[in-house]
């Protein structure tokens, strides 16, 4: 899922990019409104984060131009402005949410995840795409797993890892296969990164993370999900 981040503050732009990359999204970065509009037309992002006060074109102008072309792509305004009128203007232009600076990482991650769920539900390939994974039911479009009515929140990357294992059930899934499926062909993280994600995922879904039954390690090769 591609997210356009239009923000003239380098630290905020790169910080958001790092957070979203770790969650499994593909950031597209723009340092001003004109670049943002160009990249919107070029890359067709799934949703957009727009700072309001930017050089070349402000966020409101970018939003107006995008809405002439597309009324559905979700837009989040990001701004140091916190006046009610600014929120009203942003929402009336067609924004889906408005986040005031300074913001916490947990807040923006939660807001983005809410919109990501909506985007995923609208994709044709995600209609009724839940699947069983041991005693879990995985719901990719909801970014969650269900066990006995208990909901387990998952990131987009975690869902992609589980999907890859499920699609290759009873087979060894190599590290390269997981990298390609969950990170993309043009991005190769190191083995330590994958191990950390698998460890975190096991803590979330395994009844005993130290003795995993769902995601088994195949030493020297990768991982395997084995059905009973």
Specify the 3-state DSSP secondary structure of 83.
coil
CA–CA distance, 199 with 196 (Å, rounded to integer): 5
H or E element at residue 84: helix 84-92
176 and 81 in a common domain: no
Residue that is last in its domain, among 71, 96, 122? 122
What total of structural domains would you count in the chain? 2
pLDDT of 176 above 70: yes
Q: Which two tokens stand for residue 9?
A: 């503050």
H or E segment to which residue 99 belongs: strand 97-100
Is it the case that residue 127 has pLDDT exceeding 70? no
Range with the poorest average pLDDT among 92-96, 121-125, 153-157 = 121-125
- The CATH number linked to 177 is 1.10.10.10
pLDDT, the chain, mean: 87
Q: What is the pLDDT of residues 137-171, one digit of tens each?
A: 999 988 999 999 899 999 889 999 999 999 999 99
Residue 142 shares a structural domain with residue 113: no
* CA pair distance 206, 208, nearest whole angstrom: 5
Using CA of residue 175, residue 179, residue 181, residue 185, what is the dihedral sign?
negative
Bond into 170 cis (ω within 30) = no
| CA–CA gap between residue 149 and residue 146 (Å, rounded) | 6
DSSP-assigned letter for residue 126: G
Per the CB < 8 A criterion, the answer to whether 150 and 18 are in contact is no
Residue 105 pLDDT > 90, yes or no? no
Instruction: Please give the residue range of the domain that contains residue 109.
Output: 2-122
Compute the radius of gyration of the chain from its Cα atoms: 19
Are 36 and 108 in the same domain? yes
> What is the residue-wise DSSP string for 205-219?
H-SSTTS-SSSEEET
Q: Which of 91, 122, 153 is the last residue of a domain?
A: 122
- 165 and 60: one domain? no
Q: For residue 103, report the phi and psi dihedrals to the nearest 5 degrees.
A: -130, 160
């Amino acid at each position: 899922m591609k997210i356009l981040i239009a923000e003239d503050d380098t630290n905020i732009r790169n910080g958001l990019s790092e957070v979203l990359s770790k969650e499994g999204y593909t950031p597209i970065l723009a340092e001003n409104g004109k670049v943002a509009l160009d990249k919107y037309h070029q890359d067709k992002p799934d949703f957009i984060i727009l700072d309001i006060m930017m050089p070349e074109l402000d966020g409101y102008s970018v939003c107006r131009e995008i809405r002439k072309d597309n009324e559905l792509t979700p837009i989040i305004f990001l701004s140091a402005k916190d006046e009610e009128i600014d929120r009203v203007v942003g929402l009336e232009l067609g924004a889906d949410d408005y986040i005031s600076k300074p913001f916490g990482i947990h807040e923006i991650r939660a807001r983005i995840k809410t919109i990501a769920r909506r985007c995923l539900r609208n994709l044709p390939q995600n209609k009724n795409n839940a699947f069983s994974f041991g005693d879990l039911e995985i719901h990719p479009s909801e970014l969650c797993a269900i066990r006995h009515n208990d909901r387990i929140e998952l990131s987009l990357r975690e869902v992609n890892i589980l999907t890859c294992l499920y699609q290759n059930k009873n087979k060894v899934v190599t590290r390269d296969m997981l990298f390609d499926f969950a990170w993309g062909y043009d991005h190769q993280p190191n083995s330590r990164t994958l191990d950390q994600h698998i460890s975190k995922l096991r803590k979330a879904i395994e009844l005993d993370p130290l003795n995993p039954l769902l995601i088994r390690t195949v030493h020297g090769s990768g991982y395997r999900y084995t059905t009973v």
